[in-house]
Structure formats: structure tokens, C-alpha cells
Amino acid sequence: SQTIHQWPATLVQPVGSPLSLECTVEGTSNPNLYWYRQAAGRGLQLLFYSVGIGQISSEVPQNLSASRPQDRQFILSSKKLLLSDSGFYLCAWSITRNTGELFFGEGSRLTVL
Amino acid sequence: SQKIEQNSEALNIQEGKTATLTCNYTNYSPAYLQWYRQDPGRGPVFLLLIRENEKEKRKERLKVTFDTTLKQSLFHITASQPADSATYLCALASGSQGNLIFGKGTKLSVKP
């Protein structure tokens, strides 16, 4: 069966510090991968998606970047965090785009102070 | 661009009653619409998908309807239980890439 792992689960970072969130999927090949952010009082916002190794598309301009160094690994990064980067970050995967359901990780709670 | 509105931020009902949650969208009718459940501090979990040519879909105590004329989907939980308490999100594909966008969710509380 397929599983998705996301870490760390929680982190508190000072403004201006770097960020790295990692997500891995097991039990499937060539998944579509996504990073969403859920801020307090707001819905899930799609940040990045990837259809293959090294292929990253950004949905919104922001202080973050994403990379996919391996087929089932997706990394969310920032060189310098802003207060507005605080939120609940969710990695997800799907088998197909446009028609398939998303399978989400457990999320990473980021607090920037 | 497509927008999703889940009009009720919170819904409180008594155990055993039917909960009905509403999801409205603003522009073109999507090919399908999905519903997810999210518990506090957890990632959303997929529940049901309904396609535009399907009027209704059921899964155990869950029922989803899709009305492309009203641009609306209704999500029903019959014989609700306290364990059904969670936030329910609707989602649909939007944009040229067809990525899923989500509503803000409705927080359902089922009281014993």
C-alpha cells in the first residue's frame, strides 16, 4: 500500500532563518506531488506541484521554493523565513492529475517568530 | 478564476440527525467535485468524488449531490455520530492545469 511521510511535524523558527520540509511517498511510482499551505482562517492554498523529477510549478509568488530530487521525494524550502510563512504545510500525492483524489501527509506546523 | 464557497463555517447538530453541508462554486462547472474530512492537526482525508454527470453518490452514511444548474454540491451525513465531528472540505479542479482548489471548510460538531 502507498504511504506518505512528512517531517518535521512541528517547528518554531525565527524570522530570517532557513526552512526545509521534506515529504516522501512509498509504494507508488511517478506520483504527482503537491505542497499546500493552510493558514489560520483560510482554506488550503496550493503552493507547488510536480509531475516528475526536477519539474516544479509554482501557483503563487512567494518566499518559498520546492524541489524534487528523486521520484518520490518533495522538499519545500526557504532561505529566509517571514512571519507570514507561518502555517500548516501539507504534502500530498495523486496518481493522476485532473481526476484523482489527493492523499495527504500528516502536515508540518510552522511557527515563525 | 474559479472560487469555492462553503457558506457555513460551523454547523452544530444533535446526534442521530442528518447533517447537510453546502459547497457552491462561482464559474464553470467542474468535471468532478470532491469532499474531504479533516481532523484537528491532521491532513485531509478523501471521502467521495462525484462527477458532473452524476446527480448523487452514496457511501455508507454519506451522500453527495451535484447540481450544475445551481453550481452547488450538498454533502449529507445521515444518523450522525459524535465521531463525525470534524471539518469537511469540498474541492474541485480549477485553472489550466486542473489542480485542486479547496473551500475553507465547514466545522461540524455532533453533540451526544
**Torsional class of B10: left (φ above 0), alpha (ψ -120 to 50), beta (otherwise):** beta
DSSP A9: S
> What is the pLDDT, as a whole number, of residue B1?
72
Phi and psi (nearest 5°) for A84? Answer: -70, -5
Amino acid at the residue A32: N
The rounded mean pLDDT for chain B is 92
pLDDT, greater one: A72 or B100: A72
Mean pLDDT along residues A49-54: 93
- Whether residue A96 has pLDDT greater than 80: no
- Whether residue B29 has pLDDT greater than 80: no
> What is the pLDDT, as a whole number, of residue B47?
96
pLDDT digit string, tens, across residues B58-109: 999 999 999 989 999 999 999 999 999 999 999 998 777 778 889 999 999 9
**Residues 6+ positions from B94 with CB-CB distance below 8 Å:** B1, B2, B30, B100, B101
> What is the pLDDT, as a whole number, of residue B63?
98
- Whether residue A97 has pLDDT greater than 70: no
**How close B23 gets to chain A, by Cα (Å)?**
13
Partner-chain contact A102 B45, CB within 8 Å: no
Please give the Cα distance from B107 to B85 (Å, whole number).
Answer: 7
- Whether residue A34 has pLDDT greater than 80: yes
- Whether residue A99 has pLDDT greater than 70: no
Mean pLDDT along residues A51-74: 91
C-alpha cell at B52: 458532473
- Whether residue A100 has pLDDT greater than 80: no
3-state secondary structure (DSSP) of residue A108? strand
Please give the Cα distance from A97 to A103 (Å, whole number).
Answer: 12
Partner-chain contact B32 A99, CB within 8 Å: yes
**Residues 6+ positions from B95 with CB-CB distance below 8 Å:** B1, B2, B101
**Chain A residues with CB-CB distance to B under 8 A?**
6, 34, 36, 41-44, 46, 49, 57, 59, 90, 92, 97-99, 101-107, 109
Partner-chain contact A98 B41, CB within 8 Å: no
For chains A and B, what is the number of CB pairs under 8 angstroms? 55
Residue B34 buriedness (CB in 10 A; 0-12 / 13-18 / 19+): buried
Q: What is the DSSP string of A27-68?
A: S-SS-EEEEEEE-TTS-EEEEEEEEETTEEEESS--S-EEEE
Nearest to A89 by CA among A63, A69, A55: A63
Per-domain residue ranges for chain B? Answer: 4-111
> What is the pLDDT, as a whole number, of residue B27?
79
**How close A98 gets to chain B, by Cα (Å)?**
5
Cα–Cα–Cα angle for B68, A94, B107, rounded to 5 degrees: 60
Per-domain residue ranges for chain A? Answer: 3-112
Model confidence band, residue A68 (pLDDT cutoffs 50, 70, 90): very high
The rounded mean pLDDT for chain A is 92
Does domain A3-112 fall under CATH 1.20.210.10? My reply is no
Of the options 1.20.1440.230, 2.60.40.290, 3.40.228.10, 2.60.40.10, the CATH number for the domain spanning B4-111: 2.60.40.10
> What is the pLDDT, as a whole number, of residue A98?
60
3-state secondary structure (DSSP) of residue B82? helix
